[in-house]
Structure 1
Amino acid sequence: MVLKFPETPEFTGLYQPSRVETDIVDLEIEGEVPATLNGTFFQVSPDSYYPPMRGTDIFFNGDGLVSAFKFENGHVSLRRRYVQTDRLKAQWKERRSLTGIYRNTFTNDPLAAKNNTTANTTVLVHGGVLLAMKEDALPYALDPETLETIGVWDFKGQVNSATFTAHPKVDPENGDLLGFSCEAKGDGTPDIAYFEIDAQGDLKKEIWFKAPYAAMIHDFAVTARHVVFPLIPLTVDVERMKAGGQHFQWQSDLPQLFGVLPRDGGADDVMWFYGPKNGFQGHTLNAYEENGLLQVDMPVTTGNVFYFFPEADGSVPLPETLSSQLMRWTFNLNGPGNSPGDEHTIEPQPLTTFRCEFPRCDERFSGKPYTHGFVLAFDPALPFDETLGERPFQFFNQLAHVNVRTGQADAWFPGDAQCFQEPVFVPRSPDAAEGDGYVMALLNHLHSDDTELVVLDSLKMAEGPIARVKIPFRLRMSLHGNWTPAEVLTAARS
């Protein structure tokens, strides 16, 4: 049997699967990692173990491969393990891919596992375990130290939805995990469930309600009093899936839709707000309430970012016709005539002038008034090595610090053949001022087969890295990750 991945953009260059599980003690470091930076940066990548069964596939359908970068007294070590999902173990048994179209089990091989998740979108330590999450199923739990897979995690049998978000939030006041499920009763259902789970893993709150239709909700926003669910105009149709079609389909005639739920309310209290049509609102930077208004900050793109989920006629916009900015959505929940059941319209206002995505805040200020954000940015005017051909999907050539109150930005450009993966922010100390700390991100080198983890001073971004951690092989493009302080990991082991 020939084991070879297709020569397509989804499986070459930045997207070539690495398939590397390893332990490396003391990675090479250029510069100096602050000795006070102690903890682990966990991140996960969709990293396909086998070539696609149908000869082609999308990046998001790769098996979850977790990287743990352990920072300890100026040293950095790396451990990488696949999440041993039911799906991956079934493929190991048959020694081939058993998976068809993304999130369409009707197209899978009969020998495929019933649980189709890859657990490949984010990883977060909570309740003593490392949760590997993808929004199509419940999480998998891993041991935070060894990365050994424990199994499907239903929060001690307390969460009975079919799915769970890949973008939970942690309440900075008490450590509660705030999460949700969309398509919560199975594929194509409009049901949404909201959960609050305390730091010990006990369910505190559960609220179920229905959206007007089933659509992608990739991320959400939380304040002390409300939860905001952004419905992207990528809709779900089970009959289309049964006919061999995609799980999601772009609908340019639909608005960007937001459901606002009071955290102390119920299904009858949800208010729906309708934004402009044909817009993509994916990841949230932060949200807060001030002067009677609820503000949600997030990058918004003018059209369909996901070329692999086209409209019904197969059309997708050319990448150069799309633009994205960091936007602020303002919800007046107490305005004239505002009540559940009414239809409300909303228009976002720009906070920046440049293209950006993968936003992160100082999470000690999550859900609160704040000033500092950190994003991946793209400036098409900066040099690019044209010998590389076209820029790959998810190409961002700057790492930026944004002051959301003034709009000012401070960015680092690494060169004409490099691009970034999602950043994380780490406070300089537990009581440091907001935004004062370190930003770390994986840096892709497009001409070579290696990757760096760069560490920058968050308040001096343009000066570039204070440390470059060398990874002696190329990591496939990842999605999301989180920083866990050493003391939290120590408590998880006790």
Structure 2
Amino acid sequence: MTTTEQAEPAPAEDGAYAPVQTEETVTALRVTGTIPAWLDGRYVRNGPNPIGAIDPATFHWFMGDGMVHGVRLRGGRAEWYRNRWVRSADAAKALGEARPASAGVSVAANTTVIGHAGTTLALVEAGGACYALSDTLETLGVWDARGTLPGGGYTAHPKLDAVSGELHAISYRFDRPGLAQYTVVDPRGTVRRAVDVPVAGSPLIHDMGLTQRHVVVLDLPIEFDLPRAMRAVGVPEPLIRSGARVASRMIGRVPISGRLADLAASRLRNGDMPYSWSPEHPSRLGVLPREAPGAAVRWFEIPRCFVFHVLGAYDEVDDDGRATAVVVDGVRYDKAFDEDLHGPDGASTRLTRWRLDLVTGAVLETTVDDRQQEFPRIDERFIGRPYRHGWSTGLMQDGTGRVDDRILAHDLVAGTTTSHSLGEGVEVGELVFVPSSPDAEEADGVLMGFVHDRTTGADRLELRDAGTLEPVAQVHLPVRVPHGFHGNWLPA
């Protein structure tokens, strides 16, 4: 059974990135294999999906309106598939719906979707408003941690401490240069701690690291690009050229007015992304004790690079229980948003480890796996603790258009990586690990995520055994799911 709500068509991007223009509810989904009976909940994933017309010359894929896709699994069955636009103020207006004005900046809430304190949350960064969703993915309203979230914005990558149940985050706003914000949201959904952390300029901080004692802040060389933002809001080019040098000097020193920030966000909703590679910006990782003031952050210079996503982090401790080093694993980019201004395509990536010595101040950078990859994930019960296993999506393209994406399974103790193909032409999104029980051994469970088969044009929810990478089940979707960002399993 299928029900559909439709918006005006938008020009398609290529292939599996092309937006869909219908909201659908599909029941009685066909399944190949056997869905484990212990899976009772929803797989949900967020991503860009522009409403209405876009300009291909300026459109940046990261900036499209948010659309959340979900599949409900229970009792060995796939009960439904749903997709819904996240109703930010601007998205609701584009859909012709009356919505109350949002708090914060109304950019597209398109980056991830999580569950916390009994609520499903569609999240975005850079000061954008986040939204609470119903179990069936309808937008309920702005989420601001019960009015306790300072500044109105949040992050796309909070980290859940599985022991305390607290949600840790490093947030940033392009109109608050020189500062990031560290917040801790308690299990009831209220902010119990918020401190400002000094950073250089106005960096893009997409992710963070969390250990049992510290948070890790990424201060890296992608930075707010004021001339690009000025173009986006319609400033004439002669004024941009004459003011660009002064504007560049102002970035990191002078806050941007709230009116300009709101106008820029509205115009940028389905347009250009006002961040670019900044070679003058430092490359460094900050280590801040969890309960210390923001000024206590300690910086470690690393070789020039950018990191969108952290696999994991943990403390090394001595026999007396003192932390002597912080270990951080993440996907390293040599450079990003430099020549290609429409996305991170063509960038060189590798899974990398940084060991930050808290005693000597030394940094050791080593390559864990040098294959092209993204979307690293661990068993999230081990966030902040030493872990052995991690998984990422291997982006295997040979430059001729041939696609053979892989699942890469990393054994961080043995120092080995297993590569598994889902077949030529299969494009793999992010895969999340779901343990078979709350007390299951690490890597005892399934990997889950959307994949797209270029040869047939079909999409499916793929379930793989996390240990062997062999198929467990496939939920076949009669509709297309455009490539997107981050997904999670939300238990019932």
| TM-score, normalised via structure 2 length | 0.83
Provide the residue aligned with 1:361 in structure 2. 378
The offset of 1:351, in angstroms, is 1.2
Distance (Å, rounded) in 1 between the aligned partners of 2:299 and 2:431: 31
State the one-letter code of the partner of 1:299.
V
Indicate which of 170, 181, 191 corresponds to 2:171. Answer: 181
1:197 and 2:224 are equivalent in the alignment: no
Q: CA deviation at 1:94?
A: 9.6
Q: Secondary structure at the match of 2:473?
A: strand
Structure 2 portions without partners, runs of 5+: 1-6, 233-239, 241-272, 318-323
**Is the counterpart of residue 261 in structure 1 residue 265 in structure 2?**
no
Partner of residue 244, structure 2: none
- Are residues 266 and 309 of structure 1, via their aligned partners in 2, closer, same or farther at CA, if it must alter by over 3 Å? farther
CA contact (8 A) 2:106 2:129 kept: no
Does the 8 Å contact 1:397/1:419 carry over to 2? yes
Output the CA distance in 2 between the equivalents of 1:138 and 1:153.
11
Are 1:327 and 2:352 an aligned pair?
Answer: yes
CA distance in 2, matches of 1:215, 1:32: 45
Residue 403 (structure 1) aligned with residue 411 (structure 2): yes
Residue 113 (structure 2) aligns with: 123
Contact 2:102 2:142 in 1 (8 A): no
**Residue of structure 2 in register with 1:98 after alignment:** none
Distance in 1, Cα, partners of 2:188 & 2:386: 27
User: Counterpart amino acid of 1:452?
Assistant: R
Superposed CA deviations along residues 268-321 of structure 1, whole A, max 9, x for unmatched, are 2111121112x22110111001132100011112222675449xxxxx9992xx
> Paired residue for 1:455?
463
Q: CA RMSD in A?
A: 2.7
The 5-angstrom pairing of residues 480-491 of structure 1 reads 480-486=486-492
The Cα shift of 1:142 comes to 3.0
In the aligned structure 2, how far is the partner of 1:422 from the partner of 1:248? 24
Which stretch of the first structure deviates more once superposed, 234-243 or 68-77?
Answer: 234-243
Aligned partner of residue 147 in structure 1, secondary structure: coil
For 1:275, the equivalent position in structure 2 comes to 302
Q: Secondary structure at the match of 1:93?
A: coil
Q: Provide the residue aligned with 1:161 in structure 2.
A: 151
Which residues in structure 2 correspond to 1:50-129 (within 5 Å)? 50-52=52-54, 56-76=58-78, 77-93=80-96, 115-129=105-119
Shift, 1:323, TM fit: 2.9
The reply on whether 1:34 has 2:42 as its aligned counterpart is: no
Q: Write the letter of the residue equivalent to 1:173.
A: V
Distance in 1 separating the partners of 2:475 and 2:419: 20
Matched, 1:286 2:312: yes
CA distance, structure 2, for counterparts of residue 142 and residue 483 of structure 1:
16
- In the other structure, the counterpart of 1:102 is none
Change (3 A) 1:479 1:317: closer
The CA deviation at 1:61 is: 1.4
Q: Distance in 2 between matches of 1:44 and 1:307?
A: 27
The 1:193–1:402 alpha-carbon spacing in structure 2 relative to 1, beyond 3 Å, is: same
Partner deviation per Cα, 1:335-386 (whole Å, 9 max, x = no partner)? 2xx5xxxxxx6342111232221000000111101100011013457xx9x5
Which amino acid letter does the alignment assign opposite residue 326 of structure 1? L
Number of the residue aligned with 1:43: 45
CA contact (8 A) 1:255 1:276 kept: no
Provide the C-alpha distance between the structure 1 equivalents of 2:52 and 2:429, rounded to a whole number of angstroms.
23
CA–CA distance in 2 between the matches of 1:201 and 1:94?
29
Q: 1: CA distance between counterparts of 2:404 and 2:178?
A: 34
Per the normalisation by structure 1, the TM-score is 0.82
- What SS does structure 1 have at the residue aligned with 2:93? helix
Q: 1:3 to 1:411 in 2, by over 3 A?
A: same
| CA distance in structure 1 between the aligned counterparts of 2:67 and 2:74, rounded to whole angstroms | 23
Distance 1:317 1:229, change over 3 A: closer
Secondary structure in 1 matching 2:358 = coil
Tell me what 2:261 maps to: none
Q: How many residues align?
A: 438
**Are 1:302 and 2:334 matched, yes or no?**
yes
Q: What is the CA distance between 1:426 and its match in structure 2?
A: 0.2
Partner of 1:467: 473
Identity across matched positions, percent? 31
Cα gap change, 1:307/1:44 in structure 2, threshold over 3 Å: closer, same or farther?
Answer: farther
Cα distance change, pair 114–357 in 1 and its aligned pair in 2 (3 A)? closer
Distance 1:91 1:306, change over 3 A: farther
Uncovered stretches (5+) of structure 1, i.e. residues with no partner: 96-110, 311-315, 339-344, 487-494
